[in-house]
Amino acid sequence: MTPTRYAFIKASWHADIVDRALDGFYQLVPPEQVDVFDVPGAFEMPLLSRDLAATGRYAAVVAAAFVVDGGIYRHEFVAQAVVDGLMRAGMDTGVPVLSVSLTPHQYQETDHHKQIYRAHFVEKGREAAKAALTIGKTRAALAA
């Protein structure tokens, strides 16, 4: 039997922006089909994604984070490590692991930028839901 539940991981850093991805996801997937997990930041998402996917309970795992330049090290390093880890989690488990992990070229903590990225995360959450549903249908058709 194909699972009909979805795992949604969201990083707590910039939660006011990242949480909007879950809002977008809920526009296509009912909340009662989604288990939500919080992690401190993006770097923690790949391991949890792999662990959740390995349970066999989920049709897909979605991971959302906002990786911005924090000034200590290059945010591109973190973003690349996260996306590589998420891809590996999906490949290792055979469960789709989808990324809503965004790395803007320019971000400043202004109301204008926050508004732009909140709206963008809603759209990306909706796109992740659409991808999860589409992949599920395609894989079910292949199995039939």
H-state helical runs in 1-144: 15-26, 45-54, 75-93, 111-143
Residue 123 known to bind ligand: no
Has 57 been annotated as catalytic? no
Residue 112 known to bind ligand: no
CB 33, CB 132: distance < 8 Å: no
Q: Which residues pair with 98 in a beta bridge?
A: 62
> Of 74, 88, 118, 139, which residue is the catalytic one?
74
Residue 8 known to bind ligand: no
Tell me how far apart the alpha carbons of residues 74 and 127 are, in angstroms, rounded to a whole number: 27
Residue 14 known to bind ligand: no
Residue 66 known to bind ligand: yes
Annotated binding site: 13, 42-44, 66-68, 99, 113
Write out the catalytic residue numbers.
74
Annotated binding site for 5-amino-6-(D-ribitylamino)uracil: 13, 42-44, 66-68, 99
